[in-house]
Structure 1
């Protein structure tokens, strides 16, 4: 039985991945500075609550491990990463520097690094009618956030370890993954969870806010689709970066209306012009992953949003 480490197993994608890999029959160790908020760490065979910015902890986490899924990062939604630069770069940079070296020292067979659509250049994302971003668009580099720069640096870090030390590397560029059992309040939540939280908490006839004019566009990938694509990539022989996302583009205004429709409430929408909106448009070009892995998302955004809203609504209104 292969032994797998999930770094960042206390986070949204990480704890879902930990559960997914257990169901696949792997022996799974989770590692994170925090415990999963909405599930039990006992879903793993072993869970280490440790700080991966510390090299000794990374050596401990990777000991006896065959494959590593490296998802640990200092991250959050746009309101977080647009206002947190040095901490994001330092914390995530330290984690990746340590994990790469620990994988070398402990002779880990393969490492999967979760990069991000935030690596893509700002100038390619200036209009809501954005041309879908393909993997080769990452260079010449000009991410719009420190978070994106750190992800791009760490992609190259792992590839340097592949070149110099033979580390077998897989890189996924995630595009806005969402779903149940994720952060929905506190400032680190992403747009789908934030909107679901606002609508669930609002009384019928109440209001919610969206960032800027609401015309900015994104695509969103449901968690189950992300897990399947990530696993396929890890088990493949594809070493180049691959987008993992949906190409179903939606404006934030339309997403808000979608959530309101799902709730059955009458909610008015207010525009908050003070908050960071990020780039004006971002969409995933899935041509390469379809070609290399035969994968494409099958679930419509609205179906995933219904499941996400139902879960968040239950957290906020447990009595129904």
Structure 2
């Protein structure tokens, strides 16, 4: 069972598991995900939509009980997330929704005696005062405390880690916790309302000059960007090697500023794009990158896809996607 399996990461994980012979079911309310992402190159579903796709709201505990039947493994990816404007304008909703989803999934999986579960946390849960220092050393797992996330979303992901760890440590469920840095790749949300920084930047480049190429803030804020294919590999490794080991962060040790990101996207586009800055917009945390030593030691994981290669693949997918939806 993959919760959020029709989304950005979930659809890539579904495809990988199917290719390795797994019997995969997906639960997704399609708020950001799409059944379109669960089609192969010929347009045929990669799972049985009638039997193995559950369009449900996991805030309802009964729905969680329903999707956990005859399941041995759960990848819990479902949450409410979007760009920073949406998150900061809907903090109470985001926190409550994610807290309910997490708690329902953990309890229903435990009661169903699911053999193993992977929970996906987020690096934005690191303390705000540490992330606001662009010169902060590479983040380690223990840097999460004392807790002070900037947003309700960050708090909801941290509380998900905490609750998942309670089930793990009490012996109620074998669970792995991955703390992801900024994930990007095909099947990202490209909409102006909910897109995050990479899909938003790519969309602006593709639509330029119809849409202005505007960077929020001065562009000096930095992030650790990790390609979705590398994240899927981490999820596969976690289910075998990461159970009951506590949080393990997944990200790169390279700090990339938004200006640097924009320059790469402009180069890929081949356009003569004039970059603009809007200093009135929220910029989020100033910087973070990952010391992924624990992931390497425990999982044997390290990122393989370079930022340039990953952005090129994502750009090519975005062009096709926007054209097919009449959005170019």
TM-score normalised by the shorter chain: which range applies? over 0.9
More strand by share: 1
Aligned runs of 1:52-131 on 2, under 5 Å? 52-131=58-137
The one of 210, 214, 217 equivalent to 2:215 is: 210
1:21 alignment counterpart: 17
Asked whether 1:222 is paired with 2:190, we answer no
Query: Is the 8 Å Cα contact of residues 180 and 251 (structure 2) preserved in structure 1?
Result: yes
1:39 alignment counterpart: 37
Listed one character per residue, the Cα deviations across residues 248-273 of structure 1 (whole Å, up to 9, x for unaligned) are: 21110111111011111011111112
Aligned runs of 1:145-294 on 2, under 5 Å? 145-203=151-209, 207-238=212-243, 239-294=245-300
Distance 1:163 1:250 in 2: 36
Q: How many residues align?
A: 315
Asked whether 1:12 is paired with 2:15, we answer no
Deviation for aligned residue 1:72: 0.6
Distance 2:122 2:242 in 1: 20
**SS at 1:112 equivalent:** strand
Distance 2:36 2:181 in 1: 22
Distance 2:278 2:209 in 1: 20
Change (3 A) 1:247 1:67: same
Distance 2:223 2:85 in 1: 15
Distance 2:119 2:321 in 1: 31
More deviation, 232-241/65-74: 232-241
- For structure 2, list consecutive stretches of 5 or more residues without a partner in the other structure: 40-44
- For structure 1, list consecutive stretches of 5 or more residues without a partner in the other structure: none
**SS at 1:314 equivalent:** helix
CA RMSD between the two structures: 1.8
Deviation for aligned residue 1:173: 0.5
Deviation for aligned residue 1:165: 4.8
More deviation, 181-190/46-55: 181-190
Q: TM-score, normalised by structure 2?
A: 0.91
Deviation for aligned residue 1:7: 0.3
Listed one character per residue, the Cα deviations across residues 100-141 of structure 1 (whole Å, up to 9, x for unaligned) are: 110121111111100000111111112333321110100111
